Amino acid sequence: MTRIAIIGAGGSGTAAALALADLPDVEHLEVFEEKGGIGGEAFDTPDQGHLCNTSVAGMSLRADDDFHFSRWLGGNNNSPLQEQFVPRQLYRNYLRSSLENLRLGNSGQQVNITNEKVSKIFIRDTGVALVGSSQNPHEFDEVVLAPGLSALNRPSGITDRSTSLREYNSPYDPGFQRFLQEHPGSVVGVLGTKLSAIDAARSVLAASSRVVMVSPSGQLPAVRKENPLGSPFPIGIRRFKDWSSSPQRFCQGLSNYLAQFGENYGKSELLGERVEESASSQLRSDIVAASEGKSHWQLAVGEFVDLANEHWSELSSRKMFALKKAIYRWIVRYVSAMPLENAILLDLAFREGSLVVHGSDHFIHRGDKKFELHGPGRKIEELDALVWAAGFKSSNWKFDGRSVLELAGDDEEVGALPVSRRLAVERSSGKPLPHIWAVGNTTRGRYPIVNAIRTSVLQAHDLKSRFLAAAPRRFYCTSSASSTSHKILRGE
């Protein structure tokens, strides 16, 4: 019988718990969560307007049951709910109820949830010992890391944190929401211009404050109507492989393909290095296209992402890298499209002057009391607060090279256990690291395109299969892309 620990009760830890609870030989399953709440980084927001950026169909916690979330929401297997983008808070409730009610398949025993931060893992021949804030070691046979990402991407100009400056980790940070309520009329800098940045902007505008968004591209995501429409013409593996032969062929092929779904999204310049329009005028043309229902491309992209995740690992790494580079910008912009309602809100804010978006020639400095936005050669304005919506670096776990994984201090900027390092450890020692497995955001970097909850769910499923098959115990960082297909958006 096996005793398994999972570190982290975010989407990945919860998906892993659901998958592993079914294993026939699990005697004890325990999830450690430092924050006390279940749901992790991405779904802890009270704002009902903060929607998941993946439709219900792609967010089931069970890889073998696509309708698990939809049924939890009260729908059935044919429900149109599958295509909807629901509030993040609902998804957190789904994570919470799935984990809190989870029982082991063999004994019916409740899965333990322990409110404790794990800071060290001692690897022994026979298993592992976890040490956390309680200082009492917990003994397990296997441990699954699902701690997400913690160190933030910091652009130049910001080197350290200060408690006197108001800086928030994400738009979903409860402290950020409190700040907005208590300080209407503030000027708030948002680092990033993608979907979580749009959520930040939404909250700032609702609090009658001014938003200054900054990102390297200075581009907002495209706009989608509430529901994706109809089914795309299938891309097919043959066509995909043909396009994959070079980045140019890829751009041309995809461009022609998308032309079938509506003029606005097939234009080849959209696939180029940079869309040469300002954020506001681009936004306006996107609003028109979305209002007219030209949103089929979303489904096409969903299918494309699945194919790419399945088949790119078969390409040489050089070719894969070139292709990734060629379409990265494109995927970020088009897969993660914002709801039409948010686009209209931003458009209004642009017109009123309560929203500005800056590109790569602007950066933010830490002033004495406030943050400062600098443009080419001059300070442009002062910011009362700053919110990060710029993505995450890898987790800050440190491996001492022998047998201890340690959580680095908060001031440690560079993640200490990126996948590449772990793989290097595996190679240099010549033998695998036993008893340690990992799922979710902490494994980032192994995935060709997009990391979403579907990735974690498939990783959890893969993990279960490996445990079931009693595969030789080795350090596991992610399922290889070829064994998974994560559906970001679905056509069926």
Ligand X SMILES: Cc1cc2nc3c(=O)[nH]c(=O)nc-3n(C[C@H](O)[C@H](O)[C@H](O)COP(=O)(O)OP(=O)(O)OC[C@H]3O[C@@H](n4cnc5c(N)ncnc54)[C@H](O)[C@@H]3O)c2cc1C
Residue among 182 and 411 whose Cβ is closer to ligand X: 411
Query: CB burial class (10 A; 0-12, 13-18, 19+) of residue 265?
Result: buried
Please select the residue that binds ligand X; options are 45, 60, 170, 193, rule is CB under 6 A: 170
Residue 452 in contact with ligand X, rule: CB under 6 A:
yes
CA 402 to chain centre: 31
Indicate whether 10 belongs to the interface with ligand X (CB under 6 A): yes
Q: Which is nearer to ligand X, 81 or 453 (CB)?
A: 453
Calculated CA dihedral for residues 241, 244, 249, 251, nearest 10 degrees: 110
**Part of the chain binding ligand X (CB under 6 A), chosen from 37-45, 224-232, 408-416, 479-487:** 37-45
Q: Is 453 in the site for ligand X (CB under 6 A)?
A: yes
Binding residue for ligand X, selected from 189, 440, 448, 491, defined by CB under 6 A:
440
How far is Cα of residue 462 from the mean position of the Cα atoms in its chain? 19
Choose the stretch contacting ligand X; rule: CB under 6 A; options: 38-46, 221-229, 253-261, 338-346: 38-46
Residue 262 region by backbone torsions, left for phi larger than 0, else alpha for psi between -120 and 50, else beta: left
| Shortest distance in whole angstroms from residue 103 CB to ligand X | 21
- The least distance separating ligand X from the CB of residue 176, rounded to whole angstroms, comes to 12
Cα(463)–Cα(467) distance, integer angstroms: 6
Q: Of the candidates 82, 177, 295, 441, which one interacts with ligand X according to CB under 6 A? A: 441
- CA–CA gap between residue 237 and residue 310 (Å, rounded): 10
Which of 295/456 has CB closer to ligand X?
Answer: 456
From residue 101 to residue 140, the character string flagging contacts with ligand X as x (rule: CB under 6 A) and all else as - is: ----------------xx----------------------
Quick one: which of 4, 5, 6, 7 contacts ligand X (CB under 6 A)?
7
Q: Please state, in angstroms and rounded to a whole number, the distance separating the CA atoms of residues 25 and 468.
A: 9
Q: What is the arrangement of strands in the sheet containing 128-132, beginning at the earlier edge strand?
A: 138-140, 128-132, 118-123, 404-407, 397-399
Which of 70, 342, 394, 451 touches ligand X by CB under 6 A? 451
Residue 231 CB, nearest distance to ligand X (Å)?
21
59 touches ligand X (CB under 6 A): yes
Tokens of 309: 């995740």
Q: How far is the CB of 133 from ligand X (least distance, A)?
A: 9
* Antiparallel, parallel or unpaired: β 210-214 and 355-358: parallel
Nearest to 56 by CA among 68, 44, 70, 42: 70
In the complex with ligand X, the residue whose CB is nearer, 276 or 411, is: 411
- Give the residue among 141, 3, 59, 1 at the shortest CA–CA distance from 453: 59
Query: Nearer Cβ to ligand X, position 42 or 290?
Result: 42
Distance CA 286, CA 224 (A): 8
| Shortest Å, Cβ 454 to ligand X | 6
Size of the site for ligand X (CB under 6 A): 35
Cβ closer to ligand X: 170 or 309?
170
**Residue 144 in 3-state DSSP?**
strand
> What is the C-alpha to C-alpha distance for residues 163 and 181, in angstroms, rounded to an integer?
19
Per CB under 6 A, does 223 bind ligand X?
A: no
Site for ligand X in 372-431 (CB under 6 A): 392, 407
128-132/138-140 β-pairing: antiparallel
- 3-state DSSP assignment of residue 125: coil
End-to-end CA distance of the chain: 40
Shortest Cβ 42–ligand X spacing (Å): 3
State in angstroms the smallest separation of the CB of 395 from ligand X: 8
Half-sphere exposure of 309 (CA within 13 A, CB side): 27
Q: Which residues bind ligand X (CB under 6 A)?
A: 7-13, 32-35, 40-42, 52-54, 59, 117-118, 146-148, 170, 196, 392, 407, 440-441, 451-456
